[in-house]
């Protein structure tokens, strides 16, 4: 046993690091889910006294920070690590030891954040986690309003996880650029790798403003700088610009790995190649570029001029165009296919419907006047949970069912998978459909309680009931994973009749991935192999 | 008194007692009662119609596709026709969204300009709104009035349009002013001055909340906008302009109040109490709630608040002043005379 543990700790194998990333992401997902459930319990009834305000404020800060930095980001890094080398026919990432460094510094960043619950200091004494919200608006984060060290835990842990993510992104780019197998030009590279290339490049552009902002805040707090300290003439709005310059593209950094998974799963289960592949790649690059120029749509209420508001409104709507192209391309892929509804595909189909709604409410939020009403309300909460839960997490769950057999050699149970799927769908819609309406009825986000009689009571109760279904769904996944690891059906090399290179090697793949370096002639090398009479390369 | 019965009491109080005015406690943005909210409502309806149409078309196509093209039990195992794309269809589904964005963008621009670039008439009522952790200060610079948590504004009628121009500032951290039936929200940011305007066309009390997370009691930073006809508004202004009541029978109570630390944070017009950290108390009893909407403003609640504000609104910046029961009696007696 000790030697096996030791192997995992010292490993530089991209597959093991990928699994470590994803296991860590799932662990933090469970933690953040518990935090969310506690909040929904408090909000189920008006005037509930289950949680005091300070505890509640820590919960939503930790939930948001955890979901973005300790769940969404490691899922991206984990998928990029595990799958990219396999898909491009490489034997490992370009920098295996940088890879291990990235994971461990990320993990320690995550542990540091949660250490605040034990050792952080705040108004309430020891054991005070950060309570400034996940976007930590200045000057609430300055020493005058945030005493003690809890905010410092938030700052430092985000800087640390950012270092890990940067390392992982550089590694992914280097791997994709320089380690593709023979014959795999960029034009013939799987869409998954393309999206990972775009995401990794985005990370390198957007993390610096965040890290710079965090360091400036740290200077404010400890060395008397006055960047965001309004009492000394600093600018609160400057922090918002720094944060959203990172924060908005970050939404796409989180989302594109989900798109990447859907772009592999949907074609295989529809039995057709991706419809309009070049447009798909172009749309991804378009999203990457456009998303960097729309950050101030998070700031329509800070008093910008009418012309700035109009620019940011129209630019934000424009992101809907490449996003729409993607939805249409997935639709075009399914159209005329023979769709198999195994669990991975079920999650992707639900993703398409939910992401359609998420995209439309996103366009609504780009309409600046509508945003003046619903920003910072439960409408926004419902919108971004539609994006990140209904969109991202559904595709990630699909990805787990799709690639688990490759990573472990064991199939997950379809029956439990369907229970997981349906419970999650029901719970998700109970919780988040209702919350849109609470927002249009004036319910602001981040309130620990509310008085009865304002039209919010029933909506909140239904939303809280939904959590029970969601939790049951996730429990099915956990049980499914444990059960399959112990006595799952053997998967074989290629259980889904896939087309990309990872299905050409054994399950789980050997440490060196491929005994002989593969050579490809199209973006679906295994299709070519299985259908020599009608190979893709004739058309590409 | 437990928290729940206290707040249920609050709603009962606010709907039945306060000034005989109706309270619109459901702050529905789709029931606008002032021009800025109307403008938002109009563009929202257009936007919802467009989005609903897109949802029906795309959602319908998705549903059709998954039903029509599902693999059937009696299927041969041949792969379907491999289609790689279609330039014509792809151009169509790029151009149509571009046109939709252009149309929606223009409607948005129009509404933004309508609300933001409104020329404020010279005779508009001017109010400075100052956000504090966790209460609202309202200053009427031209009328010399300072009050808290309840914004009184005159009704705008078809014969005489009356605009109230709000200048927004913050004393500490960022807050946001949001009364959905009157206007969209606008942030109060320290070091920056923002502005907005309303011209409510319905009498009554409109509820709102602070909509930017501002610390421990963000949830209990409630707003009440009292819209009243010009005559009633003038009456309110006259009453607020007067010095605080100074009943000779309460001389000792007043002396007790003025001798304690209360006056470091609170002002009472016409006395030596000139503190500015807390709400102005000159006409405390003219307001419906205590603690920015936390509890109804009754004599018993006032006493409970003074005894220990922290048990009622945990974390608020008024400390427990450790008053003895004589002081408590006197201060309650004095403050409850400030009509």
Asked if the Cβ–Cβ distance from B216 to A54 is below 8 Å, we say: yes
| CB interface of B with A, residues 53-72, below 8 Å | 54-55, 58-59, 61-62, 65-66, 69-71
Q: Is B324 on the interface with A (CB under 8 A)?
A: no
Q: Give Cβ neighbours of residue A369 (< 8 Å, ≥ 6 apart).
A: B39, B40, B43, B44, B108, B111, B112, B115, B184
Q: Which tokens is A33 given?
A: 């889910």
Q: What is the mean pLDDT of residues B273-298?
A: 95
> How many residues are listed for chain B in this entry?
339
Q: Is B79 on the interface with A (CB under 8 A)?
A: yes
Q: Which tokens is B137 given?
A: 């200060």
Asked if the Cβ–Cβ distance from B7 to A278 is below 8 Å, we say: no
SS3 assignment, position A425: helix
Mean pLDDT of chain B: 92
Q: Is A363 on the interface with B (CB under 8 A)?
A: yes
- At A253-311, the pLDDT tens digits run 999 999 999 999 999 999 999 999 999 999 999 999 999 999 999 999 999 999 999 99
Indicate if the pLDDT at residue B227 is higher than 90.
Answer: yes
Chain A residues within an 8 Å CB radius of B24:
none
- At B43-78, the pLDDT tens digits run 999 999 999 999 999 999 999 999 999 998 877 788
DSSP-derived secondary structure for B152-178: EEEPP-SSS---EEEEEEESSS-EEEE
pLDDT band at A121 (very low <50, low <70, confident <90, very high): confident
Q: How many domains does chain A have?
A: 1
Report pLDDT for A313: 97
Asked if the Cβ–Cβ distance from A302 to B97 is below 8 Å, we say: no
Nearest to A199, CA basis, from A324, A73, A103: A73
Asked if the Cβ–Cβ distance from A317 to B105 is below 8 Å, we say: yes
Query: Which percentage of chain B shows pLDDT scores above 70?
Result: 94
Contact status, residue B124 vs residue B163, Cβ threshold 8 Å: yes
| CB interface of B with A, residues 126-165, below 8 Å | 133
User: Where do the H-state alpha helices sit in chain B?
Assistant: 3-16, 35-68, 87-116, 230-241, 251-259, 262-265, 299-307, 309-312, 325-335
Report pLDDT for B76: 78
| CB burial of residue A97 (10 Å; 0-12, 13-18, 19+) | exposed
| CB interface of B with A, residues 232-291, below 8 Å | none
Q: In the block, which residue shows the tokens 């790689």?
A: B84
Quote the minimal CA–CA distance from B144 to chain A in Å.
Answer: 27
B283 secondary structure, DSSP code: T
Report pLDDT for B18: 47
A387 secondary structure, DSSP code: I
pLDDT band at A1 (very low <50, low <70, confident <90, very high): low
- At B77-102, the pLDDT tens digits run 889 999 999 999 999 999 999 999 99
3-state helix, strand, coil split of chain B in percent (to 5) is 40, 20, 40
Query: Which percentage of chain A shows pLDDT scores above 70?
Result: 99
Distance (Å, whole) CA A205 – CA A211? 11
Q: Give Cβ neighbours of residue B170 (< 8 Å, ≥ 6 apart).
A: B130, B131, B132, B188, B189, B190
Q: In chain B, where does the domain assigned CATH 2.60.40.420 lie?
A: 3-22+243-335, 125-240
Q: Give Cβ neighbours of residue A402 (< 8 Å, ≥ 6 apart).
A: A261, A264, A265, A344, A496
Asked if the peptide bond before residue B29 counts as cis, ω within 30 degrees of 0, the response is no
End-to-end CA distance of chain A: 50
Q: Which tokens is A324 given?
A: 């729409």
- At A420-470, the pLDDT tens digits run 999 999 999 999 999 999 999 999 999 999 999 999 999 999 999 999 999
Class of domain B35-73+83-116: mainly alpha
* Helices and strands (H and E) in chain A: how many: 17, 2
Which of A301, A312, A381, A450 to mutate against chain B (most B CBs within 10 Å)? Answer: A301
Q: B3-22+243-335 falls under which CATH superfamily?
A: Cupredoxins -  blue copper proteins (2.60.40.420)
Chain A residues within an 8 Å CB radius of B314:
52-54
- At A52-62, the pLDDT tens digits run 999 999 999 99
Chain A residues within an 8 Å CB radius of B103:
none
Mean pLDDT of chain A: 95
Asked if the Cβ–Cβ distance from A370 to B43 is below 8 Å, we say: yes
Chain B residues within an 8 Å CB radius of A436:
none
Contact status, residue A69 vs residue A117, Cβ threshold 8 Å: no
Angstrom distances, CA of residue A442 to CA of A373, A396, B40, B125, B209: 8, 33, 14, 26, 8
Distance (Å, whole) CA A249 – CA B60? 30
Residue B185's closest chain A neighbor by CA? A372
User: Which CATH number covers residue A349?
Assistant: 1.20.210.10
User: Where do the H-state alpha helices sit in A412-503?
Assistant: 414-440, 457-487
Contact status, residue B151 vs residue B200, Cβ threshold 8 Å: no
Nearest to B131, CA basis, from B190, B217, B208: B190
User: Where do the H-state alpha helices sit in A129-190?
Assistant: 150-178
The answer to whether the Cα torsion of A333, A337, A343, A347 is positive or negative is: positive
Vertex A486 angle, CA A480 and A487, to 5°? 85
Q: Is A165 on the interface with B (CB under 8 A)?
A: no
Distance (Å, whole) CA A400 – CA B211? 38
SS3 assignment, position B70: strand
Distance (Å, whole) CA B264 – CA B246? 20
Q: Is B176 on the interface with A (CB under 8 A)?
A: yes
Asked if the Cβ–Cβ distance from A442 to B28 is below 8 Å, we say: yes
Distance (Å, whole) CA B134 – CA B129? 13
Q: Which tokens is B257 given?
A: 């109040």
Distance (Å, whole) CA B39 – CA A218? 42
Contact status, residue A193 vs residue A84, Cβ threshold 8 Å: yes
Report pLDDT for A124: 67
Q: Which tokens is A101 given?
A: 């460094």
Neighbours of B322 (CB within 10 A): 8
Neighbours of B124 (CB within 10 A): 16
**Which secondary-structure segment (H or E) carries A142?**
none
SS3 assignment, position B150: strand
Contact status, residue A501 vs residue A89, Cβ threshold 8 Å: yes
- At B149-189, the pLDDT tens digits run 999 999 999 999 999 999 999 999 999 999 999 999 999 99
Which among B30, B174, B315 has the least Cβ separation from residue A53? B315
Q: Which tokens is A492 given?
A: 């074989």
User: Where do the H-state alpha helices sit in B17-34?
Assistant: none
Neighbours of A471 (CB within 10 A): 18
ipTM: 0.94
Chain B residues within an 8 Å CB radius of A131:
216
The answer to whether the Cα torsion of B305, B307, B313, B316 is positive or negative is: positive
- At A179-228, the pLDDT tens digits run 999 999 999 999 999 999 999 999 999 999 999 999 999 999 999 999 99
Report pLDDT for B19: 52
Nearest to A189, CA basis, from A200, A201, A177, A171: A177
Q: In chain B, where does the domain assigned CATH 1.10.287.90 lie?
A: 35-73+83-116
| CB interface of B with A, residues 114-133, below 8 Å | 115-117, 133
Nearest to A337, CA basis, from B120, B35, B81: B81
Which among B75, B174, B293 has the least Cβ separation from residue A338? B75
Indicate if the pLDDT at residue B12 is higher than 50.
Answer: no
Asked if the Cβ–Cβ distance from A376 to B94 is below 8 Å, we say: no
Expressed as residue numbers, the domain containing A229 is 2-538
Q: Is B225 on the interface with A (CB under 8 A)?
A: no
Q: In the block, which residue shows the tokens 């933690």?
A: A31
Asked if the Cβ–Cβ distance from A279 to B83 is below 8 Å, we say: no
Q: Is B113 on the interface with A (CB under 8 A)?
A: yes
Q: Is B30 on the interface with A (CB under 8 A)?
A: yes
What is chain B's alpha carbon radius of gyration, rounded to the nearest angstrom? Answer: 27
Neighbours of A16 (CB within 10 A): 21
Is CATH 2.60.40.420 the classification given to domain B125-240? yes
Out of A322-326, B11-15, B256-260, least confident range: B11-15
pLDDT band at B20 (very low <50, low <70, confident <90, very high): low
Q: Which tokens is A210 given?
A: 């965040």
Q: Facing residues of A125 across strands?
A: A122
Indicate if the pLDDT at residue B11 is higher than 70.
Answer: no
A474: left (phi over 0), alpha (psi -120 to 50) or beta: alpha
Distance (Å, whole) CA A323 – CA A321? 5
SS3 assignment, position B206: strand
Q: Which tokens is A521 given?
A: 């002639």
């Amino acid at each position: 046993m000790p030697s096996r543990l030791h192997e995992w700790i010292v490993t530089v194998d991209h597959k093991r690091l990928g699994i470590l990333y994803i296991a860590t992401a799932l662990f933090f997902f469970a933690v953040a889910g518990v935090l969310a459930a506690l909040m929904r319990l408090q909000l189920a009834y008006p005037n509930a006294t289950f949680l005091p305000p300070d505890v509640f404020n820590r919960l939503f800060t930790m939930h948001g920070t955890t979901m973005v930095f300790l769940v969404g980001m490691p899922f991206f890094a984990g998928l990029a690590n595990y799958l990219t080398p396999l898909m491009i026919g490489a034997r490992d990432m370009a920098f295996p030891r940088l890879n291990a460094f990235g994971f461990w510094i990320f993990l320690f960043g995550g542990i540091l954040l949660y250490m605040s619950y034990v050792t952080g200091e705040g108004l309430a004494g020891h054991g005070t986690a950060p309570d400034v919200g996940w976007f930590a608006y200045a000057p609430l984060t300055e020493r005058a309003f945030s005493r003690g060290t809890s905010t410092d835990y938030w700052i430092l842990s985000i800087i640390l996880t950012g270092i890990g993510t940067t390392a992982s992104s550089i590694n992914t780019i280097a791997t994709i650029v320089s380690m593709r197998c023979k014959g795999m030009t960029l034009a013939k590279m799987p869409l998954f790798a393309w999206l990972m290339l775009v995401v990794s490049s985005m990370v390198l552009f957007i993390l610096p403003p965040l890290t710079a902002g965090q360091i400036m805040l740290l200077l404010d707090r400890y060395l008397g700088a006055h960047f965001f300290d309004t009492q000394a003439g600093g600018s609160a709005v400057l922090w918002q610009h720094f944060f959203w310059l990172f924060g908005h593209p970050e939404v796409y950094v989180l989302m594109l790995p989900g798109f990447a998974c859907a772009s592999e799963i949907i074609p295989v289960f529809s039995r057709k190649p991706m419809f309009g592949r070049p447009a798909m790649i172009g749309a991804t690059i378009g999203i990457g570029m456009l998303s960097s120029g729309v950050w101030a749509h998070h700031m329509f209420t800070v008093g910008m001029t009418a012309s700035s508001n109009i620019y940011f409104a129209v630019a934000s709507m424009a992101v809907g165009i490449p996003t729409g192209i993607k939805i249409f391309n997935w639709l075009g892929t399914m159209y005329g296919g023979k769709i198999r509804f195994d669990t991975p595909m079920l999650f992707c189909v639900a993703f398409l419907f939910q992401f359609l709604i998420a995209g439309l409410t996103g366009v609504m939020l780009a309409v600046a006047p509508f945003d003046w009403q619903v920003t910072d309300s439960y409408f926004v909460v419902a919108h971004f949970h539609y994006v990140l839960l209904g969109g991202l997490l559904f595709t990630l769950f699909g990805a787990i069912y799709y690639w688990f057999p490759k990573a472990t050699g064991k199939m997950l149970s379809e029956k439990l998978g369907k229970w997981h799927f349906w419970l999650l769908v029901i719970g998700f819609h109970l919780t988040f459909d209702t919350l849109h309406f609470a927002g249009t009825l004036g319910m602001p986000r981040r309130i620990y309680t509310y008085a009865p009689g304002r039209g919010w009571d029933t909506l909140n109760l239904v939303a809280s009931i939904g959590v029970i279904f969601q939790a049951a769904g996730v429990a099915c996944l956990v049980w499914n994973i444990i059960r399959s690891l112990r006595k799952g059906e053997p998967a074989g090399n290629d259980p889904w009749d896939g087309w990309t290179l990872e299905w050409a090697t054994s399950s789980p793949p050997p440490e060196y991935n491929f005994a002989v370096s593969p050579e490809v002639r199209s973006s679906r090398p295994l299709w070519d192999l299985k259908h020599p009479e009608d190979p893709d390369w004739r058309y590409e | 008194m437990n928290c729940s019965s206290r707040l249920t009491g609050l709603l009962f109080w606010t709907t039945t007692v306060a000034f005989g005015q109706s309270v619109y406690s459901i702050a529905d943005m789709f029931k606008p009662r002032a021009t800025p909210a109307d403008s938002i409502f109009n563009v929202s309806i257009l936007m919802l119609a467009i989005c609903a149409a897109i949802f029906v078309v795309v959602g319908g196509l998705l549903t059709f596709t998954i039903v029509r093209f599902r693999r059937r039990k009696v299927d041969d195992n041949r792969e379907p026709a491999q289609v790689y794309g279609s330039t014509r269809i792809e151009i169509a589904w790029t151009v149509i969204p571009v046109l939709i964005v252009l149309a929606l963008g223009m409607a948005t621009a129009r509404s933004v300009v309508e609300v933001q670039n409104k020329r404020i008439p010279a005779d508009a009522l001017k109010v400075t709104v100052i956000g504090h952790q966790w209460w609202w200060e309202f200053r009427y610079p031209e009328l010399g009035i300072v009050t808290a948590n309840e914004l009184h504004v005159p009704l705008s009628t078809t014969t005489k349009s009356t605009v109230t121009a709000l200048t927004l500032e913050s004393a500490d951290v960022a807050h946001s002013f949001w009364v959905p039936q009157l206007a969209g929200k606008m942030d109060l940011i320290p070091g920056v001055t923002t502005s907005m305007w309303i011209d409510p066309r319905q009498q009554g009390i409109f509820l709102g909340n602070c909509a930017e997370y501002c610390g421990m009691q963000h949830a209990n930073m409630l707003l009440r906008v009292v819209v009243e006809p010009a005559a009633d508004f003038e009456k309110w202004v006259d009453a607020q302009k007067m010095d605080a009541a100074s009943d000779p029978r309460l001389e000792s109570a007043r002396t007790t109040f003025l001798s304690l630390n209360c006056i470091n944070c609170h002002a009472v017009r016409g006395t030596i109490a000139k503190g500015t950290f807390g709400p102005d108390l000159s006409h405390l009893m003219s307001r419906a709630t205590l603690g920015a909407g936390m509890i109804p403003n009754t004599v018993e609640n006032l006493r409970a608040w003074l005894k220990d504000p922290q048990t009622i609104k945990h974390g608020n910046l008024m400390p427990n002043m450790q008053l003895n029961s004589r002081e408590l009696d006197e201060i309650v007696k004095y403050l409850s005379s400030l009509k």
